Amino acid sequence: MLKKYQIIFIVAALGFTSCIRDAKKPGREYMPDMVESAAYEAGSPNPIFKDGKTDQLAPQGSIARGKYIYPLSDTDYAKAAILIKDPFTFTKDEISGEGKHLYTVNCAICHGDKGDGQGHLPQINKFPPPPSYLMEPLLSKPDGQRYHTLMYGKGLMGSYASQLNHRERWLVLSYVRTLQGTAAPAPTTRQCPYRSWRKPERRATRPRTPREPLPRRRVQL
């Protein structure tokens, strides 16, 4: 019983003395090897591993933590519409905050802040304007094909697989859906860009009087 109280007293004393010390002097460190383990330099011998090397390859089939393995190839654009679904349920604050920020940084320079294809680069004629998210065919395009485009690119648009991770890609697509939700209904038929052009009216001309037939001449042989 006495030993028990002695141990409690020693632990309490150590804890008390460790809290009250001069800030200008370093405190006492107990069992430092548990906190600061001996590090091995890259390329140096290491007795822990069988081959005696510090540099080790990752086990076969291992996946980095947080890394998403996309199951389709770049030619599976049609399959993406059926197989790829949004696995996340984002809040409105996440979409309007982080989602909008990611879209502004990565997409708005070409697609525009409103998703209408009037970004900065098309306006200065660096690239042709991309299709508008607010009109067909992008208005009703499946999310899986949009995600596939972010992974592999399409047309003049390059891949964003290295710029955005799995969660960030779906955040961007969720924000695009909010832009499309605020868009006006798309027309059912495609309107001709020259529909408002009118054919110029003809100038009024004087009515023509019918000419009298010329008299026939008989030729004697």
Is-contact 46 52, C-beta < 8 A? yes
Fold topology of 90-181: Cytochrome Bc1 Complex; Chain D, domain 2 (1.10.760)
What's residue 196's pLDDT?
Answer: 39
DSSP assignment letter at 174: H
Q: How far apart are CA 152 and CA 131, in angstroms?
A: 18
* Domain extents in the chain: 90-181
pLDDT in tens, the chain (221 residues): 657 777 777 777 766 666 666 667 766 666 666 666 677 888 889 888 889 998 888 888 787 777 788 999 999 999 999 999 999 999 999 999 999 999 999 999 999 999 999 999 999 988 899 999 999 888 889 999 999 999 999 988 999 999 999 999 999 999 999 999 854 444 444 444 334 334 445 665 666 665 666 666 665 65
Using CA atoms, how far residue 96 sits from 101, 117, 139, in Å, is 8, 20, 20
Nearest to 109 by CA among 129, 94, 90: 129
Q: How far apart are CA 216 and CA 55, in angstroms?
A: 114
